[in-house]
Structure 1
Amino acid sequence: MSDERFHLTLTTGGRPAAHGWWAREGTARRKFTVWVGEYGSLPQARVSLVDETTGAVVTAWPKEP
């Protein structure tokens, strides 16, 4: 299992602000929830979680309409 499989990214105002990688999806999803709570009020905040193995977006906030 790759230690960098699940990539979490925070952008604000269209610019990268923070990122992290986790081997386990469960850990990455918990971090995702924490980041939305902590940083969701920043201007134009967006948090996304990507499975780097498949390239698929696992989840993102805010949800696209």
Structure 2
Amino acid sequence: MSAPERYHLTLIAVDRPVAHGWWSDEKVARAKFVRWIGEYGTIPGARLTLVDEDEARTLAIWPDET
């Protein structure tokens, strides 16, 4: 079972934090990531980042900068 605050999703716009959330389930966190792209993706300068805090690794970033 995952830690209650393992997956952290943040929304940054114009270099300022706008929203964030924590989930224990990766599948739920990834679904929220996709939903937030639809909800907040039109905000100028919006950037979403999903991090696995237990493993200290980034799972997803939007927009993709590669």
User: TM-score with structure 2 length normalisation?
Assistant: 0.95
> What RMSD in Å do the two structures reach over aligned CA positions?
0.6
User: TM-score with structure 1 length normalisation?
Assistant: 0.97
Alignment of 1:25-44 (within 5 A): 25-44=26-45
After superposition, give the CA deviation of every residue in 1:8-64 in whole Å (9 maximum; x if it has no partner).
000000100000000000000000000000000001000010000011000010001
Q: Runs of 4 or more off by more than 3 Å in structure 1?
A: none
Q: How far is the alpha carbon of 1:4 from its aligned partner?
A: 0.3
Identity of aligned pairs, percent?
51
What's 2:7 paired with? 6
Q: Residues of 1 paired with 2:20 and 2:34: CA distance?
A: 14
Gaps of 5+ in 1: none
